[in-house]
Amino acid sequence: MNARLLLLVAGLCAAGAVHAGDPAAGKFKFSTCSGCHGVPGYTNVYPSYHVPKLGGQHADYITAALGEYRAGKRQHPTMTANASVLGEADIADIAAYLSGIAPAAGQTPARGDPAAGKQKAAVCAACHGADGQAPSPAFPRLAGQHADYLVHALQAYKDGTRQNPIMQGMAANLSAQDQLDLAAWFTSQPQGLAVPR
C-alpha cells in the first residue's frame, strides 16, 4: 500500500472516530451539572444573574462552550473546574442530551422593551436568527433564555472578559438600555430554551 493511500485510510478512520454523543449517557453525566442548570430560577451568587437555560441548545454550541471553559477562554470558577474533568466523549454525550430537550415557552421580561429590542436585534439575525432560534448549530439559541443572563453575557463581551471577536465587536457600542432591550426581545420568544429536569 503506498504512503498516500495509507494516510487517506488513517484520516478516514480518525474522522470516523468522532463521538456522536449518547443522550442517555449525557443525561447521567449531566446530573453533576443539574445542581445549578437543572434548578428553575437558580442564580449565580456573584455577580448575580440566572444560571443559563441549556435545554434545547445546539449540541455544537454546548461542545464549543465547554471547550472554551476548559481552555480558559471563558471565565467562571465553577464551570472551569467542572469542564476541566470532562473528556471529549463526556462533552459530546452531555451536548446530545441537552440538545434533545423540548423547547419551553418564553418568559415575560421584567426590564427592557421587547419592541425596541426587536428592532435592535436585526443585526443579530444573521447568526442568532430574528427570533433567537439560531439557524446554524454553531451559534447559540437565545430564545427564552433568562434576560439577566443575556445582559451579563453581552456585558462580558463588551468588557472583554468573554473572548469572541465577532461578539466583542457587536457588543462594543451597546448601551445598558440596548442590552436590556435585546434581552427583553429574545427572552420573550416562544419555543425557547428550557431548564433540564
- Looking at domain 21-187, which of 2.60.260.20, 1.10.1240.10, 1.10.3470.10, 1.10.760.10 is its CATH number? 1.10.760.10
The percentage of the chain sitting over the pLDDT mark of 90, rounded to a whole number, equals: 77
pTM, 2 dp? 0.85
Cα–Cα distance for residue pair 132/142, rounded to 1 Å: 5
pLDDT of residue 183: 96
Q: Please name which of 84, 101, 88 lies closest in space to residue 34, comparing C-alpha atoms.
A: 101
- Quote the pLDDT of residue 15: 40
Range 157-174 average pLDDT: 94
Q: Which tens digit of pLDDT belongs to each residue from 185-197?
A: 999 998 899 999 8
- Say whether pLDDT at 168 is over 60: yes
* Positive or negative: CA dihedral 196, 146, 137, 161: negative
Averaged pLDDT, 91-118: 90
- C-alpha 66/C-alpha 62 separation (Å) is 6
Q: What is the mean predicted confidence (pLDDT) over 5-18? A: 40
3-class SS of residue 50: strand
Find, among 68, 53, 59, the residue nearest to 143 by Cα. 53
Nearest Cα to 141, choosing from 130, 151, 152?
Answer: 130
Q: If you average pLDDT over every residue of the chain, what do you get? A: 88
CA–CA distance, 118 with 106 (Å, rounded to integer): 15
- Residue 187 · residue 146 · CB < 8 Å: yes
H/E element, 54: none
Band the pLDDT of 163: cuts 50, 70, 90.
confident
Helix or strand holding residue 135 (H, E): none
- Identify the pLDDT of residue 151: 96
- Name the pLDDT band for 119 (thresholds 50, 70, 90): very high
Alpha-carbon Rg of the chain, whole angstroms?
Answer: 18
For the ranges 9-13, 48-52, 61-65, the lowest mean pLDDT is seen at: 9-13
pLDDT given at position 13:
39
49 or 7, which is more confident?
A: 49
CA–CA distance, 148 with 122 (Å, rounded to integer): 20
Which residues are within 8 A (CB) of 93 and not within 5 positions of it... i.e. 6 or more apart? 19, 21, 22, 23, 25, 26, 29
- Per domain, the residue ranges of the chain are 21-187
- For 129, phi then psi, to 5°, come to 80, 150
Lowest mean pLDDT among 13-22, 41-50, 96-105: 13-22
Element (H, E) at 134: none
